[in-house]
Amino acid sequence: MNTEKYKLYTKGGDKGMTSLVGGQRVPKHDIRLESYGTIDELNSFVGHLLSFELEEADRSFLTWVQHKLFSVGSYLATDTRVDDLHLESNVTPEAVARIEREIDRLDDAVPPIKAFILPAGGAIPAAAHICRTVCRRAERCVYRLGDEQPLDEQVTRYINRLSDYFFALARKETFRLNGEEITWKYDHD
């Protein structure tokens, strides 16, 4: 067993370049890095969301989301025109369906939406709304990457459904915590 500890810094990115899975060097401003970097940012916010007192079903699902987001990041960090995709980087239709089932479960626990809802309702709902908005930004980045090369539609579906999941979670948590769901009121001023 190798017990050698590796340094956290490589100095390989000091000139604005970095490596993809497979070793290809690309600029750090490449849309591919923006895509998987935003997925990584989302994963960090999910970690923050997990720091709150959540029901076990939500905690378990969010932990699964974190693992799947790491897989999505791996997928996005692989230029499939050059390298084969690692099996663990795949996003399956079953993963998308799992999110859809979770959205339905959460949505069944709250009243119907009658107006636009502001991102509020307490600390947990606000954290879920932050996850939702970062997820939407990640989705926009991934679609820009898709303009440059083909992407597996399961990846874009997963990210799209995930932002809907965070919205559903925010609503469910607002009601669970007896918070106030604030609806948008048009102000003419």
pLDDT tens per residue across span 76-114: 887 665 555 555 557 889 999 999 999 999 999 998 988
Domain-embedded: residue 45 = yes
Domain-embedded: residue 189 = no
Domain-embedded: residue 62 = yes
Six-digit token string for 100: 């859809």
Of 157, 163, 143, whose CA–CA distance to 46 is shortest? 163
Q: What is the mean pLDDT of the chain?
A: 86
Cα distance between residue 138 and residue 37, in whole Å: 8
- For 140-153, b/e burial (b = at least 16 CB within 10 A) is ebbeebbeeeebbe
* Band of pLDDT at residue 7, cut at 50, 70 and 90: low
- Top pLDDT among 150 and 17 is at 150
Domain-embedded: residue 124 = yes
Six-digit token string for 154: 């399961």
What single-letter amino acid sits at 116? Answer: F
Return all residues near 71 (Cβ < 8 A) that are at least 6 apart.
88, 89, 90, 91
Six-digit token string for 159: 């990210």
* Number of domains within the chain: 1
Domain-embedded: residue 19 = no
* Band of pLDDT at residue 9, cut at 50, 70 and 90: low
What burial class does residue 49 get, using C-beta atoms within 10 Å of its C-beta: 0-12 exposed, 13-18 middle, 19+ buried? buried
Give the pTM: 0.86
Of 137, 121, 124, whose CA–CA distance to 48 is shortest? 124
* Band of pLDDT at residue 15, cut at 50, 70 and 90: low
Report phi then psi at 145, rounded to 5: -60, -40
- SS3 state at 59: helix
Task: Give the single-character DSSP code of 122.
Answer: S
Domain-embedded: residue 181 = no
Residue 75, pLDDT above cutoff 90: no
Give me the half-sphere count of Cα atoms (radius 13 Å) on the Cβ side of residue 174.
23
Domain-embedded: residue 125 = yes
CATH number at residue 116: 1.20.1200.10
Q: Give the domain extent around 111.
A: 26-176
* Band of pLDDT at residue 145, cut at 50, 70 and 90: very high
Q: How many CB atoms lie within 10 A of CB 91?
A: 19
